[in-house]
Amino acid sequence: MSVTVAAVDLGATSGRVMLGHVGPDDLRLEAVARFANTPVETIDGLHWNILELYRSIVEGLRAAGQAGEVSSIGIDSWAVDYALLRGGRMLGTPYHYRDERTAAGVDAVHAVAPFSELYGENGLQFLAFNTLYQYAADRIAGVLDLADAALLIPDLVAYWLTGEKVAESTNASTTGLLRVDGSSWNAPLAESLGIPSRLLPRLVQPGERIGGLRDAVRTATGLDAPVVAVGSHDTASAVVAIPMTDPDAAYISCGTWGLVGVELDAPVLTEESRAANFTNEGGVDGRVRFLHNVMGLWLLSESVRAWERESGEAIDLPELLAQAAAVETPQPVFDANDPAFTAPGGMPGRIAAWLGERGLPVPQSRAEFARCIVESLAAAFAEAVHTASSLSGKRVNAIHLVGGGSLNTLLCQLTADRAGIPVLAGPVEATALGNVLVQARALGAIEGALEDLRGLVARTTSPVSYAPRA
Ligand code: LRH
């Protein structure tokens, strides 16, 4: 038996609603709506345009209903960001994690709980935008005290669709306030940081039913289907759909970010792992996503955005990458993990400054810049794979590269070359696949452990393989 479910998948630059047709020998995605996700800078910083996103989601669900019988809906998005609510009303517009207000929050949190202590509690790599630092910044601004609930982005969408306030556990693991074993919120830690534990909603696990659609949403979408929790952190959903048939494999989920790591049964909380800034995020079925955030395609998309603004002309990315592949002058490598590249704007200038300050040659053309970025990403990916392997003791015979980056043949080849390990690229829509697989399993249309779900992905998709060149 096959079921049809709807996946709402929100990325940092675009969102989509997909239909997934899933059965024991069937796994197909059908895109029913795609929409831009364009952040808005206002007087108080950089925000997500959450109302526009929600409108697009409701329209997308309507299109999904017109295309087929939908048995359930699952929602995933980027991690860490949230809305504050009081009495069910949203207080202000959610901030984008690239907004710079969190610096004060980092200092405030570390004054009470230094990173070395926090790592033992939550197992998270240091990223200045982890939710707990954002909450601390909101506390300093005096707005946290007004709230009686905080909902991460997919949980906010689920609330607006169903009226149920929950916190899905994989995404909750990126807040810094979930215990590293994922069992419960760390209320004493939250309270010690001045973050009221009343803000933290009831935890749900992927596969649990969140609730039925509100009447108004049923009318607006024409659907009558429950919202089911999936790995609502997009990276958690992507990892579900990595077609790892050999367990000795690493993964790179490459979109705006490159999330590079391995899947483990238990967290690694050693001093070495903390020093390497590796994270232990919660995966579906209690697995651990032991990984590191590398800057990802952001470096390229921000450069393209800057060049397009400068010239007023649209840039053809595949064409630019073909030119980058043909560049013969060796290009320098910069540190793709440097926080200097986190904020939006002026990316080519920032890369040039980074190289110039270190006496390295600066690329001269756009093609050279693109090559330099892709080389730098590949170098950072290769290094993170080897670090993940040595910190966890897991052998790595293959690297699965999924997400938008899997279409970038230059990146895949250079990653294989620099790692000295074969890269298996695809599927490109791993996140949406992971989302629909967890829903289909919850509905009983497929069964088994993650390995069985991955087996289905491996049988129904064909990764492209890149052998390392000498
Ligand atoms: C990727 C992602 C990543 C987080 C970042 C905020 O979309 O969810 O896993 O670290 O966005």
pLDDT tens profile 344-386: 999 999 999 999 999 999 999 999 999 999 999 999 999 999 9
Domain membership flag for residue 456: no
Q: What sign has the CA pseudo-torsion 311, 317, 319, 325? A: positive
Domain membership flag for residue 321: yes
Give the whole-angstrom CA distance, residue 461 versus residue 426.
8
Closest residue by CA, ligand 1 atom 4: 79
Give the whole-angstrom CA distance, residue 171 versus residue 246.
27
CATH of the domain at 318: 3.30.420.40
Domain membership flag for residue 251: yes
Please indicate, yes or no, whether residues 38 and 67 belong to a single structural domain of this protein: yes
Best mutation site among 129, 233, 295 for ligand 1, i.e. most ligand atoms within 8 A of its Cβ?
A: 233
Domain membership flag for residue 306: yes
Domain boundary among 228, 261, 286: 228
Please indicate, yes or no, whether residues 93 and 202 belong to a single structural domain of this protein: yes
125 lines ligand 1 (CB under 6 A): no
CA of 79 to the centre of ligand 1 (A): 5
Please indicate, yes or no, whether residues 218 and 258 belong to a single structural domain of this protein: no
Domain boundary among 409, 426, 443: 426
Banded model confidence at residue 68, pLDDT cuts 50, 70, 90: confident
Q: Give per-residue pLDDT as tens, 398-426.
A: 999 999 999 999 999 999 999 999 999 99
Domain boundary among 170, 196, 228: 228
Which residues does 34 contact at the CB level (< 8 Å), separation at least 6?
14, 15, 16
Q: What is the position in ligand 1's atom list of the atom closest to the CA of 97?
A: 6
Please indicate, yes or no, whether residues 208 and 177 belong to a single structural domain of this protein: yes
User: What residues make up the domain containing 307?
Assistant: 244-426
234 lines ligand 1 (CB under 6 A): yes
Please indicate, yes or no, whether residues 19 and 150 belong to a single structural domain of this protein: yes
Please indicate, yes or no, whether residues 90 and 197 belong to a single structural domain of this protein: yes
Domain membership flag for residue 73: yes
Is there a contact between 370 and 320 (Cβ–Cβ < 8 Å)? yes
Residue 137 has pLDDT above 90, yes or no: yes
> Tell me, what's the ipTM?
0.99
78 lines ligand 1 (CB under 6 A): yes
Whether omega before 201 lies within 30 degrees of 0, making that bond cis, reads no
Q: What is the position in ligand 1's atom list of the atom closest to the CA of 234?
A: 8
* Mean pLDDT computed over 24-43: 98
* Mean pLDDT computed over 96-104: 94
Banded model confidence at residue 470, pLDDT cuts 50, 70, 90: confident
Please indicate, yes or no, whether residues 286 and 256 belong to a single structural domain of this protein: yes
Please indicate, yes or no, whether residues 312 and 176 belong to a single structural domain of this protein: no
27 lines ligand 1 (CB under 6 A): no
- Number of structural domains in the chain: 2
Tell me, yes or no, if 138 is annotated catalytic: no
Residue 89 three-state SS: strand
CA of 452 to the centre of ligand 1 (A): 25
Going by C-alpha positions, the residue among 287, 199, 274, 280 that lies closest to residue 240 is 287
Please indicate, yes or no, whether residues 224 and 249 belong to a single structural domain of this protein: no
Q: Give per-residue pLDDT as tens, 262-311.
A: 999 999 999 999 999 999 999 999 999 999 999 999 999 999 999 999 99
Report CA-CA distances (Å) from 236 to 262, 364, 430: 12, 39, 10
Q: Give per-residue pLDDT as tens, 14-27.
A: 999 999 999 999 99
Domain membership flag for residue 110: yes
79 lines ligand 1 (CB under 6 A): yes
Six token digits for residue 245: 């048939």
CA of 257 to the centre of ligand 1 (A): 6
Best mutation site among 16, 80, 402 for ligand 1, i.e. most ligand atoms within 8 A of its Cβ?
A: 80
256 lines ligand 1 (CB under 6 A): yes
Q: Which amino acid is at 447?
A: E
Domain membership flag for residue 16: yes
259 lines ligand 1 (CB under 6 A): yes
Please indicate, yes or no, whether residues 74 and 139 belong to a single structural domain of this protein: yes
Q: What is the position in ligand 1's atom list of the atom closest to the CA of 79?
A: 8
Please indicate, yes or no, whether residues 116 and 179 belong to a single structural domain of this protein: yes
Domain membership flag for residue 438: no
Q: Which of 9, 81, 155, 234 does the annotation list as catalytic?
A: 234
Please indicate, yes or no, whether residues 126 and 173 belong to a single structural domain of this protein: yes
